[in-house]
Chain A
């Protein structure tokens, strides 16, 4: 593992407490060992995608969802706006 726990937590936008750090490091270490096994595998010549098979597309026909039900899920609203953190 070439990345520190610190750098990974920053990239993932995860705050990690001092108490958790040791336990997470242990888990990341164990997962990292599984990754290392991949070094033995010949990488594919070209990048490819393993996408789900089949073909499914939706018709362009509107279906209304009761948006009040989603407003109920939101943490905090002002009018019908969702209140979010300041973005500066």
Chain B
């Protein structure tokens, strides 16, 4: 039996009609994962299947990013700091999946503490792109994307702080959905930048991510920032979308060409296409994003001191020495962001940087809400470039930071955004993202589903 190219939707249908058994499905993904993981490094922890065929998900095992807490299954954040940490509780999203009959297939590789856009900043080594092993998968949900793209999982959970679901989805040619801020509980998601991030879903089709989204969305008493978004199907047939030209112009020639090409196809299929030349704050989005993210990260990651859990320090002259030694186990990217955040929050710099970043965030949100009014979604490329060769961004960190320029907007505004493959360049895909107003998740899912059907970029997908 070969389930290559199968969507979750198809698997569930075939289990329903008896042509597939849940055991077969789990066996297939497990075996394939064991086989491919030595090459792709998508999983940090892989679990033998032990499903019970019940609930909507029939016991199907799902890949979970390794920064989402799973009771009894180690959760490392791809960091030496949590190499042996086994959470005593499930994240709310994981317990929701279990309630629907899902189980955990494995914990996927990622950029350490979700800091990165390439999948290279992992203490367990970089994840390799199934489309070309020498190239990055994009990050930080690198393993979740690689697993779905290489048929090592039917679907996966990731997290998106500044594009961490959409970037790897775009680089591996799959669908990546970042819901509205708060739409899925963050309880149990190991925090990097609380005010920006949300659990997201990586799948083979828009329908697949929607199936899972409906199961895990909703207000959670354990997460005070969670909200109920409307989960009713939206009735749209000819979407009106708005293209921000200044975003497209930030992209490479190859990306631009494929992206404009997709617009042509959408227009012929009846999409209403409008353009706006400029989003006036385009140049400041990364500054606002990195200031807020680093500030939040520096305090979130204070707790890793080797005292309660994490690396034990054998000899230390005093408690400060103990903590500093334990914290040396963070990787360089994490250290750099903690230090930057510490600097930003230092007396005197709070006003200079942090407050201005908040001010910008407020202005960006206002401008976004103004330009989107009257449209179903904003449509822009997901990544300004194609995947780069592993190692390149390590030489020049600016490459990785700049790659986030088109994905941070929805995190700053709390908007839902979904990336789907919209074009193809050599072995790689170009991703386009649809962005909506906060809480209008079902609207962007609907628009993306129509576009996916029009564009048919991935012909090997079996629905």
B343 lies within 8 A of A41 (CB): no
* Chain B residue at minimal CB-CB distance from A51: B195
* Chain A residue at minimal CB-CB distance from B323: A13
B286 lies within 8 A of A34 (CB): yes
Question: How many angstroms between the C-alpha atoms of A33 and B298 in the bound complex?
Answer: 18
Known contacts A38-B353, A76-B312; 10 further A-B pairs (Cβ under 8 A): A1-B343, A8-B343, A11-B346, A27-B332, A27-B336, A54-B227, A74-B308, A75-B307, A85-B316, A88-B318
Contact A34:B324 (CB < 8 A) given known A28-B336, A28-B340, A72-B88? no
> Chain A interface: which of B44-52, B103-111, B150-158, B359-367?
B359-367
Q: Which 8 A-B pairs have the closest CB atoms?
A: A69-B88, A27-B336, A85-B322, A15-B328, A56-B224, A8-B339, A85-B319, A52-B225
A48 contacts across to B, CB distance below 8 A? 355, 358
A75 lies within 8 A of B318 (CB): no
Question: How many angstroms between the C-alpha atoms of A52 and B221 in the bound complex?
Answer: 15
* Chain A residue at minimal CB-CB distance from B286: A34
Interface residues of B in 174-231 (CB under 8 A from A): 182, 195, 221, 224-225, 227
B359 lies within 8 A of A52 (CB): no
A87 lies within 8 A of B319 (CB): yes
A38 lies within 8 A of B308 (CB): no
Interface size (A, Cβ < 8 Å)?
53
A54 contacts across to B, CB distance below 8 A? 224-225, 227
Q: Which of B88, B332, B340 contacts A31 (CB 8 A)?
A: B340
B361 lies within 8 A of A50 (CB): yes
Question: How many angstroms between the C-alpha atoms of A15 and B332 in the bound complex?
Answer: 11
A85 lies within 8 A of B335 (CB): no
Q: Which of B85, B328, B401 contacts A17 (CB 8 A)?
A: B328
Q: Does A79 contact B (CB under 8 A)?
A: no
Contact A52:B195 (CB < 8 A) given known A27-B397, A35-B353? yes
Please report B residues at the A interface, Cβ cutoff 8 Å: 85-89, 182, 195, 221, 224-225, 227, 283-284, 286-288, 290-291, 294, 298, 305-310, 312-313, 316, 318-320, 322-325, 327-328, 330, 332-333, 335-340, 342-344, 346, 351-353, 355-362, 394, 397-398, 401
B313 contacts across to A, CB distance below 8 A? 85
Q: Mark A55-83, 1 if CB is under 8 A from B, else 0.
A: 01010000000100110111110000010
Q: Mark A1-37, 1 if CB is under 8 A from B, else 0.
A: 1010100110111111100100110111011111101
Question: How many angstroms between the C-alpha atoms of A57 and B350 in the bound complex?
Answer: 29
A13 contacts across to B, CB distance below 8 A? 305, 320, 323-324, 327
Q: Which of B327, B332, B359 contacts A24 (CB 8 A)?
A: B332
8 A-B pairs (CB sep. < 8 Å): A8-B342, A37-B284, A49-B358, A56-B224, A73-B308, A85-B313, A85-B318, A86-B318
A31 lies within 8 A of B290 (CB): yes
B287 contacts across to A, CB distance below 8 A? 34-35, 37-38
B357 lies within 8 A of A38 (CB): yes
* Chain A residue at minimal CB-CB distance from B322: A85
Contact A41:B224 (CB < 8 A) given known A11-B346, A50-B195? no
